[in-house]
Structures are given as structure tokens and as C-alpha cells.
Amino acid sequence: MSASPGIGMTSDRTRGRVVDALRKSGISDERVLAAMREIPRHLFVEPGIASRAYEDTPLPIGHGQTISSPTIVALMTQLLLEKGPVAKVLEVGTGCGYQAAVLAKLVREVYTLERIAPLMDKARRNLRDLRIYHVRFKHADGHRGYPEGGPYDGILCAATASHVPEALKEQLAVGGRLVIPVGTGEQWLHVIERTSAGFTDTKRDAVRFVPLLPGIV
């Protein structure tokens, strides 16, 4: 790995502070906190804004997209792991790969879909640099999910849909959970769970994500 810009940012103390802030904002799953502490967020953004990588804010990653804030990544991961064991996860919206890297610390098998090819390539390089090899990248439209890899114990969608894509629900295992922001004006995080009888849908936190767009580029 190449030398990291700004040694201060990589320090344990800086990342310890981020974890303290996450705790204060309600993240209590110690596994999630440990993974967030471990993944160096500054390596996922452009060097010019690396000094802001540990602020609790989304940041630009090119192509009009953003890396989600640490709180949102931690919250979605916590919701995904809230019940039962999670061995296989599908992420929709790879972006720079930060969320995928956090998931990879916690889950044995991770699939991630991205519609913008150069972003996916960058994410692949980012994870390779961190020696994370058990994430499978697919250049695909997340509306259709990735049935070849399913069923999934968890699906995490990092872009807002006007409605929940049926394909994602269908690719959940029984007992599996889909965490997805929904809405055109106001956006809310929903947790959809597949039960033996069908699906339950719980509205959780108000959020702000980039839109889930059709097609690949």
C-alpha cells in the first residue's frame, strides 16, 4: 500500500474518537464499532479531502456520488446484523467500496453491485489494497439484484428507491433482512424482513441518499 496522507488521520486516537461519536449517536453493536475502527475511511476519498474523512459527513467520490457518513454506514450495518447470523450479504451501490469493506470484516461472503464502471474499478482497487479478497464486484443495475449469488441473509441498498424493488425482496432468504432508503421527497430507512409467511416492513430513521438510477454506465 502506498504511504497514507497525513499520519494524524491514521492514528488510533482519531479513529477512537470516531467510534466514541458513533456510540453517542446510538450505535451499540460492538462488532460494528470494531469494524468501523479498523477500516481507514481516508483511503476511500480523494487525497485532497482526506483530512475530512473522519468527520461524520458524506463526501464526494466523483461521478456525482458520495461516500455515506460513518453514522449511516454503521447504522445500516447494525440493522443488517440485528437478528440472527448473517453469512452472505448483497450490497447495492458499491461507490468507493467503504461500506463493502466494513461488511467484509463482519460477513463471510459479500457481493456488491455498482452501475458506474469506473467507480466499481476504484472500489475493487481500494479493497485489494486493504487485502480484502472475499468481496465479489458486479457491474450491474441493482434494481434486479444478483440472483446468481442468492438467496442472501442480508441486502443493503446504499441508494434511495421510490419503491422497494421486488427482485431484492425475492432474493432474501427466509429470516433475511433488506435495509433500504425509500422515498422521493422525504426518505426513510426501511427494514424489510422475509418470514415464512411473507414480508414485514419497518420504517426506521429519516435519511438522505443519492437516487437508485436505472441502467449501467
The residues annotated as belonging to the active site are 68
Site for ligand SAH in 5-64 (CB under 6 A): none
Q: Which stretch binds ligand SAH (CB under 6 A): 93-101, 125-133, 167-175, 184-192?
A: 93-101
User: How many angstroms separate the CA atoms of 133 and 83, rounded?
Assistant: 26
**In angstroms, rounded to a whole number, what is the distance separating the alpha carbons of residues 208 and 186?**
8
Peptide bond preceding 151: is omega within 30 degrees of 0, i.e. cis? Answer: yes
Min CB(173)–ligand SAH separation in Å: 21
Cα atoms in the 13 Å half-sphere on the side-chain side of 2: 7
What are residue 144's phi and psi, to 5 degrees? Answer: -95, -5
Instruction: Please say which residue, 9 or 92, places its beta carbon nearer to ligand SAH.
Output: 92
What does residue 79 show for φ and ψ, rounded to 5 degrees? -60, -40
Residue 97 vs residues 121, 122, 163, 203: alpha-carbon distances, Å: 10, 8, 24, 26
Q: Which is nearer to ligand SAH, 119 or 207 (CB)?
A: 119
3-state secondary structure of 149: helix
Q: Which is nearer to ligand SAH, 206 or 217 (CB)?
A: 217
Interface pattern 152-181 for ligand SAH (x via CB under 6 A): ------xx----------------------
* x-or-dash string of contact with ligand SAH, 126-145, rule CB under 6 A: ---------------xxx--
Among 66, 69, 126, 171, binds ligand SAH (CB under 6 A): 66
By CB under 6 A, is residue 212 in contact with ligand SAH?
Answer: yes
DSSP 8-state secondary structure symbol assigned to residue 196 = T
- Binders of ligand SAH among 94-113, rule CB under 6 A? 95-96, 98-99, 113
